[in-house]
Amino acid sequence: MSVDFSKPFLVGRELENLRQSLESRRLAGDGPFTKHCHDWLERHYQCSTLLTHSCTAALEMAAMLADLGPGDEVIMPSYTFSSTANAVVLRGACPVFVDVRPETINLDERLLEQALTPRTKAILPVHYAGVACEMDTINAFARQHKLMVIEDAAQAYLCSYKGRALGTLGSLGALSFHESKNIVSGEGGALLINDPALVERAHILREKGTNRTQFLRREVTKYEWLDIGSSYLPSDLIAAVLFAQLQDAETIIARRRDIWAAYHDRLAPLEQAGRLQRPVVPAEAIHNGHIYYIVLPDAATAGNLLAGLRAREIAATTHYVPLHSAPAGRKFCRTAGSMAVTDMIAACLVRLPLHALLDTADIDRVAGAVAEILQGSPTR
Ligand SMILES: Cc1ncc(COP(=O)(O)O)c(C=O)c1O
């Protein structure tokens, strides 16, 4: 492809950090670079943070910390990655899907009531494309019904809602630093722990159910098996790469937001002509330019657009197969109400190439190709 869909941006210090890490011979988890990352993230997020080997791992830890078990239900969108639901299913609990809002593709908070049962234990909103869910309403509902809120902020590093960082608005938040995200360490993630009562147990779950962290802090003389858990901490080599990226995150994200804004400008006439719908970012949300998507009037038009872009060597793509319609979703989960918006979005959404290495000529080329392919296409 001559315009790639996604490409990690390297800030330049990754190799030097890796060299230092290798020479230090402190390669396992919770070494010096992990500490640098923790300090960095805790300064930004103002809450306890633990690096994990993925957002998937952070979500699994969150499901353990929420004490989910058989019979429990967790309300979430179906338009998300398998990891959001898997974390719940792995505990024997049941994801309950509600539809998404057509403007933001985020969990429709007006549908929480219809999904609520005496078994509901938590809500798991996903901030799609780094654009905030309607968190005030979600949190008020959770408070009223004594539910835990776990934010899947995989795509939402450095995003906010009413000035507050995404991932810190519920009890727990999960970030991703996977190669496909804005800030990358290959695989990687973090758990943000906003409820101080959960911090000690989070350390134990992450260290194979042991109090090894206390041992390393010299609070106990030996460590032992105390709880369930797994190995969720990344090698310090991963943290060495991540620390370089975190230090330049603002620059990477500013560049991505500029590209996002350039697409948005160039595609405005097509929206006015009714040929597509552009993303909506509510006034209270600041996003990070993670995804630029457009929604076409029907599935056939979306398919034609994807084929046309591919023929022009432009790597555009769809996104999730909704979990409620996937084999494991049908087996382990249930829906609460219609999934009409989710199904429409799954059929009609196209993501355009977006990474920090795109230049103005690339953006013009992609936007120009979209306009050309959609000439004479159906309108809304
Ligand atoms: C919404 C969402 N949650 C979780 C994940 C899993 O992230 P990771 O690959 O870091 O495990 C992804 C991955 O793309 C995602 O999009």
178 lines ligand 1 (CB under 6 A): yes
Q: Which residues contact 89 (CB under 8 A, 6 or more apart)?
A: 95, 328, 332, 333
User: pLDDT tens for residues 96-127?
Assistant: 999 999 999 999 999 999 999 999 999 999 99
Q: What is the mean pLDDT of the chain?
A: 98
Distance 310 CA to ligand 1 centre (A): 25
Helices (H), the chain: 14-24, 32-45, 55-65, 82-89, 112-115, 135-145, 199-206, 212-216, 236-247, 249-272, 299-311, 327-332, 340-348, 360-374
55 lines ligand 1 (CB under 6 A): yes
- Residue 238, pLDDT score: 98
Query: Which of 79, 81, 84 most suits a substitution to test ligand 1, by most atoms within 8 Å of the C-beta?
Result: 81
Closest listed residue to residue 347, CA positions, set 308, 304, 311, 296:
296
Sheet (strand 148-152) strand order? 48-52, 189-193, 172-176, 148-152, 120-123, 73-77, 94-98, 334-335
Tell me if residue 300 falls in helix, strand or coil: helix
Give the whole-number percent of the chain exceeding pLDDT 70. 100
| pLDDT at residue 148 is higher than 90 | yes
80 lines ligand 1 (CB under 6 A): yes
pTM higher than 0.95:
yes
User: pLDDT tens for residues 315-358?
Assistant: 999 999 999 999 999 999 999 999 999 999 999 999 999 999 99
Distance 79 CA to ligand 1 centre (A): 12
User: pLDDT tens for residues 360-377?
Assistant: 999 999 999 999 999 988
78 lines ligand 1 (CB under 6 A): no
- Residue 144, pLDDT score: 98
User: pLDDT tens for residues 156-189?
Assistant: 999 999 999 999 999 999 999 999 999 999 999 9
Distance 130 CA to ligand 1 centre (A): 12
| pLDDT at residue 140 is higher than 90 | yes
User: pLDDT tens for residues 199-236?
Assistant: 999 999 999 999 999 999 999 999 999 999 999 999 99
Tell me, what DSSP letter sits at residue 201?
Answer: H
Closest listed residue to residue 197, CA positions, set 215, 174, 172:
172
Q: Tell me how far apart the alpha carbons of residues 55 and 177 are, in angstroms, rounded to a whole number.
A: 8
Give the whole-number percent of the chain exceeding pLDDT 90. 98
- Residue 39, pLDDT score: 98
| pLDDT at residue 378 is higher than 90 | no
